[in-house]
């Protein structure tokens, strides 16, 4: 059915309203939460039976502390898509201010950057300037459920009507306003693989582009980018995946009803990793001593958002984020599991060698897991714990301030301010819906069957840190890219693992990431 006001359901091309960037309030609900062996009353934003509270207008928030050359704005694609919070870096030679009337500036090729969890478009602040200097239009946006991207609430650009607005324009704007949802929350059923594709399509067309020169995804964003490249070969010209290799779309049963009157079809060989997957791996993890649980299924379970957002135990949010970023970075001593390496099989015993942020202590929240590992990391590093008095003027969570490890250049105290403020405002509820959808919603994952047996057919590269366990957390995924299972043979341009870097490679080593992105972009 066509969308109201859009002929033949086409995406509006080049419609990019500019909205000016206040503190938002949220409702706190007391609820009962049961997780594993724990049961207690905790403070949480909401549970799965209650919709998240409307949080006001993200466009009224203070601007982010962005590096020179990066600007932010909102791109409103509703009712086709969402109101996306985007960061942009525009090549100097391509800006409208540098163009003459006789020779308009050429439109630079678009590089679109997708962040992961628990991240924001802000992650790409170190990468974007380098891409712009190389002549590319670099755009990053807060994904659905993250940061300042939203689907309603607040004033639409021009909705109040400026003094120069014509009556016809005001009437048109009022009609558009009536089509828009007023609740700023997201629908739980809107977090599906194809929703990722729709968001990219909506944003790219709104920016006035018909293709993405290079799509770059990190972590969850790498999965989204891979699905986009698989589903829309016409839209994505090249691809860089970071910190999360792509195993591929599901395989449809092949040759099960071939006609006996025809020559037998060539049956593809079974993926060797499929035979090394424990179908009851979660029960097997629970049976270990001590029992363990997989972080993706924990994140997708009821109550996880409450434990991430308003935990009964563990460090306050700022110190939790400090620890979470540290443990998965190249600065961590060993990440809890030694040097990252191929696991060889999807079995409890093999998975259990990974750090606790991936294969968690069962019955223990993510915040508690991070706190325990940070205590061990602190002891191993010989770092003294900062006492409460010394920490009061350096940390807002004064009662449990640790301020260790010292903030690296890629995650300064000001950067921690940004992540802490954003997650305090939004909670983790909507972002964790991605995990709930991809681990516990058969209808959502069934969408990928439409792409069954497809392979990515554009120049593709995988980049991460050599100290990133994310490369190996899904045994066989990296091999699927390298061996022509998920990426067409001849299209895969190589695996790049940067020594000394961890999971946050786009922040830890932005210069090398720019180099690898440009290498792939030059192939188009």
For the entire predicted model, the pTM comes to 0.82
pLDDT given for residue 336 in this prediction: 64
- The band of 57, judged by pLDDT with boundaries at 50, 70 and 90, is confident
- The band of 489, judged by pLDDT with boundaries at 50, 70 and 90, is very high
- The band of 11, judged by pLDDT with boundaries at 50, 70 and 90, is very low
- Whether residue 324 is preceded by a cis peptide bond, meaning omega within 30 degrees of 0, is no
Q: Is the pLDDT of residue 21 over 80?
A: no
Among candidates 369, 268, 33, 19, which has minimal Cα distance to 159?
A: 19
Q: Is the pLDDT of residue 142 over 60?
A: yes
- The band of 3, judged by pLDDT with boundaries at 50, 70 and 90, is very low
Q: Is the pLDDT of residue 187 over 90?
A: no
Lowest mean pLDDT among 144-153, 379-388, 456-465: 379-388
Average pLDDT over residues 446-469: 96
Average pLDDT over residues 159-180: 39
Average pLDDT over residues 367-388: 77
Q: What is the pLDDT of residues 78-136, one digit of tens each?
A: 999 999 999 999 999 876 665 556 677 789 999 999 999 999 999 999 999 999 999 99
- The band of 14, judged by pLDDT with boundaries at 50, 70 and 90, is low
Average pLDDT over residues 164-179: 42
Average pLDDT over residues 141-170: 59
Count Cα atoms within 13 angstroms, Cβ side, for 377.
27
- Averaged pLDDT of the chain: 82
Average pLDDT over residues 176-203: 73
Q: Please state, as a whole number, how many other Cβ atoms lie within 10 Å of the Cβ of residue 280.
A: 10
Buried b / exposed e along 123-150 (16+ C-beta atoms within 10 A): bbbbbbbbbbebebbbbbbbbbbbbbbb
Q: Is the pLDDT of residue 45 over 70?
A: no
Average pLDDT over residues 127-149: 98
The CATH class, in words, for 14-151+187-250+446-521 is alpha beta
pLDDT given for residue 52 in this prediction: 45
Q: What is the pLDDT of residues 378-418, one digit of tens each?
A: 887 775 444 444 444 444 444 444 567 888 999 999 999 99
Q: Compute the distance between CA of residue 303 and CA of residue 35 in angstroms, rounded to an integer.
A: 7
H or E stretch covering 40: strand 38-44
Tell me whether residue 79 is exposed, middle or buried, using C-beta atoms within 10 angstroms of its C-beta: 0 to 12, 13 to 18, 19 or more: middle
Q: What is the pLDDT of residues 282-313, one digit of tens each?
A: 999 999 999 999 999 999 999 999 999 988 87
pLDDT over 70, % of the chain: 76
Q: What sign does the dihedral 473-479-485-490 (CA atoms) show? A: positive
pLDDT given for residue 445 in this prediction: 85
pLDDT given for residue 521 in this prediction: 99
pLDDT greater at residue 37 or residue 167? 167
- Report helix, strand or coil for 495: strand
Average pLDDT over residues 63-67: 97
Q: What is the pLDDT of residues 350-365, one digit of tens each?
A: 999 999 999 999 999 9
Q: Is the pLDDT of residue 179 over 90?
A: no
- Max mean pLDDT among 6-10, 87-91, 399-403, 444-448 falls in 87-91
pLDDT given for residue 41 in this prediction: 28
Q: Is the pLDDT of residue 451 over 90?
A: yes
Average pLDDT over residues 318-324: 95
Beta-carbon contacts of residue 320 (< 8 Å; ≥ 6 apart): 314, 367, 370, 371
pLDDT given for residue 335 in this prediction: 59
Average pLDDT over residues 464-485: 96
Angle value at C-alpha 338, between 332 and 344, nearest 5 degrees: 130
pLDDT given for residue 15 in this prediction: 47
Q: Compute the distance between CA of residue 385 and CA of residue 379 in angstroms, rounded to an integer.
A: 9
pLDDT over 90, % of the chain: 65
Q: What is the pLDDT of residues 235-264, one digit of tens each?
A: 999 999 999 999 999 888 889 899 999 999
Domain ranges of the chain: 14-151+187-250+446-521, 292-436
């Amino acid at each position: 059915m066509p969308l109201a006001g859009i002929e033949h359901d086409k995406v509006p091309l080049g419609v990019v309203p500019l909205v000016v960037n206040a503190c938002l309030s949220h409702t706190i609900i007391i609820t009962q939460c049961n997780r594993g062996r724990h049961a207690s009353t905790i403070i949480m934003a909401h549970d799965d039976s209650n919709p998240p509270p409307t949080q006001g207008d993200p466009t009224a928030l203070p601007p982010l502390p962005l590096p020179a050359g990066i600007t932010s704005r909102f791109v409103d694609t509703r009712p086709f898509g969402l109101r996306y919070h985007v960061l942009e870096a525009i090549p100097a030679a391509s800006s409208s201010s540098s163009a003459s009337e006789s020779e308009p500036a050429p439109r630079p090729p678009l590089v679109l950057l997708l962040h992961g969890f628990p991240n924001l478009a802000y992650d790409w602040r170190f990468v974007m300037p380098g891409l712009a200097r190389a002549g590319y239009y670099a755009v990053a946006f807060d994904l659905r459920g993250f940061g300042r991207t939203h689907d309603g609430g607040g004033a639409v650009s021009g909705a109040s009507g400026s003094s120069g607005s014509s009556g016809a324009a005001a009437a048109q704007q009022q009609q558009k306003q009536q089509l828009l949802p007023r609740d700023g929350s997201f629908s739980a059923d809107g977090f599906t693989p194809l929703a990722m594709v729709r968001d990219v399509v909506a944003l790219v067309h709104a920016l006035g582009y018909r293709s993405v020169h290079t799509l770059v995804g990190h972590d969850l964003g790498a999965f989204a980018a891979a699905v986009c490249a698989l589903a829309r070969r016409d839209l994505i010209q090249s691809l860089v995946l970071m910190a999360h290799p792509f195993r591929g779309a599901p395989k449809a049963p092949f040759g099960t009803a071939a006609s006996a009157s025809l020559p037998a079809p060539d049956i593809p060989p079974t993926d060797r990793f499929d035979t090394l997957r424990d179908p009851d791996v979660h029960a097997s993890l629970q049976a270990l001593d001590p029992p363990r649980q997989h972080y993706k299924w924990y994140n997708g379970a009821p109550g996880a958002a409450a434990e991430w957002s308003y935990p009964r135990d563990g460090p306050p949010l700022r110190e939790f984020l400090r620890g979470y970023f540290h443990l998965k970075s190249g600065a961590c001593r060993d990440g809890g599991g030694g040097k990252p390496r191929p696991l060889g099989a999807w079995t409890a015993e093999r998975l259990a060698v990974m750090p606790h942020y991936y294969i968690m202590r069962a019955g223990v929240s993510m915040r508690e897991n991070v706190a325990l590992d940070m205590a061990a990391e602190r002891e191993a590093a010989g770092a003294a714990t900062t006492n409460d008095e010394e920490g009061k003027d350096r940390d807002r969570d004064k009662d449990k301030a640790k301020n260790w490890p010292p903030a690296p250049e890629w995650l300064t105290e000001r950067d921690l301010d940004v992540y802490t403020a954003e997650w305090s405002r939004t909670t983790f509820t909507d972002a964790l819906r991605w995990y709930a959808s991809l681990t516990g919603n058969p209808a959502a994952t069934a969408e990928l069957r439409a792409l069954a047996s497809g392979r990515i057919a554009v120049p593709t590269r995988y980049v991460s840190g050599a100290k990133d366990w994310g490369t190996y957390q899904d045994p066989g995924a990296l091999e699927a890219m390298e061996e022509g299972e998920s990426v067409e043979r001849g299209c895969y341009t190589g695996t790049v693992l940067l020594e000394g870097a961890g999971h946050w490679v786009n922040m830890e080593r932005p210069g090398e990431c720019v180099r690898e992105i440009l290498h792939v972009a030059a192939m188009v």
